[in-house]
Amino acid sequence: MHPLDEAIDLRASERQELPHEFTGSTHPAYANMVGPFGGTTAAQLLQAALLHPERLGEPVALTVNFAAPVADGDIRFLVRPVRTNRSTQHWIIEAHQMEGVVATATAVFAVRRETWSDVEAVMPANMPAPDTLARMPVKGMPAWPKRYDMRFVEGAFPAAFDEQEQAHSRSNLWVRDEPERPMDFASLAAMSDSFFPRIYIRRRRRALIGTVSLTTYFHADSTLLAQVGARHVLGVAKALNYRHGYFDQTGELWSPEGQLLASTHQLVYFKD
């Protein structure tokens, strides 16, 4: 069983009075410096809705707000559809631990229909193929980066925090799950948080950081994700602003054929 599948292996409550409750736990393969990798928590929150018997359609948007540090151990997920329309469904999901709510999420699911489609975003051109690039070294890093095969074109995680400030925080890289795993919505949600904090790339100095809010828009449907399979996808990330202890970062994930799979935006706290 793939480590991500173990991490999102949620169990429905056997108590009839708790039809909207699932239980799971953090996974050591996705450990961060403190607590779990936030992308895995996002994937678990989404998975709770994906597993719900009342679920309609496929996810188009997910917003996760991290209310408190997630501790290693069991997590209880409360998930409920708050509004179901003809083709859309709105969800509220909570993650609970002993100390109370540690994360909340809202999700929108939809039944997609064939319509006129186009993309205005532009995939970076002339990117070298992933097999021509070396995988990012992960020795000495927390567990979670070891679960991704990252091959950077530019904007790699600093080999040394030499405090040499850079002109920008842009990163272009090829990334896939490690070990290989066919992409689905849970892995896409987790991968959308796999971009290293932009302040590390920009300033090359250590800082205490924590994601406050993470939103992912799913532009792909399950058919497109099946076409991607277990191949590398192209990731693009940058920040727009750093101010008064918070910065944003925005990212895109593209299929090798140039289809935009997801776009993601997050707000991050930092201590200077």
For the segment 122-153, what is each residue's pLDDT rounded down to a tens digit?
999 999 999 999 999 999 999 999 999 999 99
Predicted model pTM:
0.96
pLDDT digits (tens, 9 = 90+) for 39-73: 999 999 999 999 999 999 999 999 999 999 999 99
pLDDT on residue 16: 60
pLDDT at 93 over 80: yes
pLDDT digits (tens, 9 = 90+) for 94-128: 999 998 999 999 999 999 999 999 999 999 999 99
> Per-residue confidence at 272, pLDDT binned at 50, 70, 90?
confident
**Which of 211, 212, 183, 184 is closest to 197 using CA atoms?**
211
pLDDT on residue 34: 87
**Cα(124)–Cα(195) distance, rounded to whole angstroms?**
17
pLDDT at 269 over 90: yes
Buried b (16+ CB within 10 A) or exposed e, 212-232: eebbbbbbbeeebbeebeeeb
Are the C-beta atoms of residues 81 and 91 closer than 8 Å to each other?
yes
Question: How far is C-alpha 182 from the geometric centre of its chain's CA atoms?
Answer: 16
Average pLDDT of the chain to the nearest whole number: 96
Question: How far is C-alpha 220 from the geometric centre of its chain's CA atoms?
Answer: 15
Are the C-beta atoms of residues 234 and 173 closer than 8 Å to each other?
yes
